[in-house]
Amino acid sequence: SSINIPAPTGYHEISELSPETFKLASSSTPSQNKLLAVFVSETDLGNIMKDKPVEFGRYMLLQTYRPIEDKTISISAFQKMIDDIERQQEKLTEKAKDKSNLRMDSASKELSSYYDITMKMKIGDSVPLGVFDKKDNSMGFAMMTKLKSEVEGVIVDSIFIGATNFIRVQNKIVYAYVYANYQSQDDIEWARATSKQWANEILKANRGNAPVQRSKDSGFLSDIEWSKIIPKALASVIVGAFLIIMLAMFKGLINLIKKKKNT
């Protein structure tokens, strides 16, 4: 049966309304992940409908990991993943950063060609902020990451908060990513609270819909190499901040154009 994904309170899914936004988010999605949905605020929704610039200060993405999307995940396997993340936060975040920079290099070249401008993107320091939500079927983990982008010679630094919630729903795993362009502690608290609430809403919307587990089910996974999967999932949250990076870069480009006009 299909998984029910309610939109976070105050946010709207815009894949059909704004294919361009979905395409931008897709371009930063690692090939082994599948982007299912993009959620934006009501303010951004209004700007999209008016064809005006969008802020992307806060938004959400929903993804799955293709190699296991058709497999069922046991509670014990899910709990092992949570234990691994708690135990190896620093190590996993560093691995994720390395994987993210590879994807950013590729995306930079694609966008430089598409927009006919010179741009570079690089992941700076990435600091794990720890596990903020832990239940039988969901687990929330936050990180703070510095992004360095350069567009037409203008260097723009930005910092984002990425909250990743791994949710075991109907014996499958979905990645619910919540983003905030960091300005103050309020953005960290918002990301954590929103991620936790969204996970609760997803689990509630699917309560009673889980298929019966069978021990001989050939698609059932009880022992997974989380050491390979987790860094990729955390790398996805970093490159998923692509919309924030794009906003920072184009603001830098706009400022450059204004500066040239005034000289």
Task: Tell me the per-residue pLDDT of 238-261, one tens digit each, with 9 for 90 and over.
Answer: 777 767 766 666 655 555 444 555
Q: Which of 41-50, 168-177, 192-201, 229-238 has the highest mean pLDDT?
A: 192-201
Q: Return the pLDDT at 160.
A: 92
- DSSP class of residue 189? H
Tell me: pLDDT of 49 over 70. yes
The dihedral through the CA atoms of 182, 183, 188, 190 has a sign that is negative
Q: Return the pLDDT at 184.
A: 95
Q: Return the pLDDT at 249.
A: 60
Q: Over the chain, what is the mean pLDDT? A: 81
Q: What percentage of the chain has pLDDT greater than the value 70?
A: 84
φ/ψ (deg, to 5) at 14: -125, 20
Residue whose pair of structure tokens reads 């983003």 in the numeric block: 179
Q: Return the pLDDT at 218.
A: 40
- DSSP class of residue 223? S
- Tokens read off for 234: 């955390």
Q: CA distances (Å), 229 to each of 84, 86, 94, 96, 223, in order?
A: 11, 15, 14, 10, 12
Closest among 170, 168, 178, 160 to 139, alpha carbons compared: 168
Q: Return the pLDDT at 164.
A: 92
CA dist 187 and 196 (Å) reads 14
Task: Tell me the per-residue pLDDT of 95-111, one tens digit each, with 9 for 90 and over.
Answer: 777 777 777 777 778 77
Q: Which of 55-64, 79-88, 144-153, 207-216 has the highest mean pLDDT?
A: 55-64
Tell me: pLDDT of 211 over 60. no
- Tokens read off for 144: 């703070």
Q: Return the pLDDT at 139.
A: 92
Let me know: does 47 contact 18? Beta carbons within 8 Å: no
pTM of the model: 0.84
Q: What confidence tier does 126 reach under pLDDT thresholds 50, 70, 90?
A: confident
Q: Which residue has the higher pLDDT, 71 or 134?
A: 134
